[in-house]
Amino acid sequence: MSKGGGGGPQETTSTVTQTNLPEYAQPYFERLLTRTEEESTTPYTPYGGQRFAEFDPYQELAFTGAAGMAAAGTPWQMQQASDIASKVGYQDPTAQMTADEITSYTNPYQQKVTDIELRQAQSQADAAKARLGLQAAGAGGLGGYREGIEQAELAKNAAQLQADIQTRGSQRGYDMARQAWESDRLAKAQQMQQRMGAAQQLGGLGQLDQQAEMQRLQQLGQAGAARQAQQQGIYDLGYQQFQDQLAYPRQQLGFYSQILRGLPVQPGTQVSQYLPRPSTAQNMLGLGLGGLGLYQALGGGGGMG
């Protein structure tokens, strides 16, 4: 027998608990498990319907119209207005007449009128010269120094008179040319304003026409979008019904499981405890102690005292 007492087996207790459902409830739980297992092995079911609504024909028309407007560029009214405006010449209000313009705007008959006055002045000068000669002849001084001075003064005055007549005639011609030039400029300016007004009006009509066309396309697109949204709602409803159909068995299993969990089921419980079997030394020691106790009980131990 070894010393130390550490070589013997340690005593342990094993407890086993068994829970059994009542017989009336067991079939329901078994069927729930079976159906749950079958549901978990169900293959994936793809949706066979259409999910997204395509563009409505009205939307397609709106897209085509908008693309056509973009490709066409500027409306013809606005383009024509731009062409008209570009052709209108700019009139500088501070511009002065050039020499060529003075010539072109001068009345060609003005010089002829001046020439008449010049001839009349020349005739008067000739008559005065003749009278001066007669007077000098009557006084006996014809061809003398005095007559020469008077003749020179007379010629000088006649030339100055003719020069003044020519200057006044040229001034009248310039004034008339300037007046005609100003009238022409005013007429051109008025014409330019009229053409610019017409161009602006035409451009405004083109812009209004373009805006009206864009509004029509927007309304057409909005109508198509409303119909597309309605069709999309139909597709969404079909898809939701498909999802509901797939989820229905699982919802029923959940409902069934909740019902079973709510039943007042008290499963039976059996608890068993198992002790380790004694070793051979423990059996022999037990037998020895048992025999000693039996011997003492039978009175065999009185002589031992």
Q: What is the pLDDT of residue 2?
A: 45
More confident call, 184 vs 31? 31
Q: Tell me: the pLDDT tens digits for 122-177?
A: 888 777 777 766 766 666 555 556 667 877 777 788 788 888 888 887 788 788 88
Which range (74-83, 218-227, 249-258) has the least confidence? Answer: 74-83
Per the prediction, the chain carries an average pLDDT of 75
Sign of CA dihedral 60, 61, 66, 68: positive
Is residue 261 pLDDT above 50, yes or no?
Answer: yes
Distance CA 268, CA 20 (A): 5
User: Cβ(144)–Cβ(132) under 8 Å?
Assistant: no
Distance CA 56, CA 229 (A): 9
Question: What SS3 state is found at 4?
Answer: coil
List Cβ neighbours of 16 (8 Å cut-off, separation of 6 or more). Answer: 271, 272, 274
Q: What is the pLDDT of residue 75?
A: 62
- Dig out the tokens for 155 from the structure: 């010629």
Rounded to 5 degrees, φ, ψ at 301 are -105, 10
Instruction: Place 56 in a pLDDT band, splitting at 50, 70 and 90.
Output: very high
Distance CA 157, CA 161 (A): 6
Distance CA 268, CA 247 (A): 35
DSSP string, 117-152: HHHHHHHHHHHHHHHHHHHHHHHT-TTSHHHHHHHH
Helix residue spans in the chain (DSSP H): 26-40, 57-72, 76-87, 99-105, 110-139, 145-261, 280-297
Strand partners, 272: 16
User: Cβ(106)–Cβ(113) under 8 Å?
Assistant: no
More confident call, 263 vs 46? 46
Question: What SS3 state is found at 261?
Answer: helix
The average pLDDT across 48-56 equals 92
DSSP label of 263: S
- Count the neighbouring beta carbons within 10 Å of the beta carbon of residue 133: 15
Distance CA 264, CA 69 (A): 77
Q: Tell me: the pLDDT tens digits for 77-134?
A: 566 666 665 655 555 555 677 777 777 777 777 777 777 888 887 888 777 777 766 7
Identify which of 238, 221, 246 has the alpha carbon closest to the alpha carbon of residue 52.
238
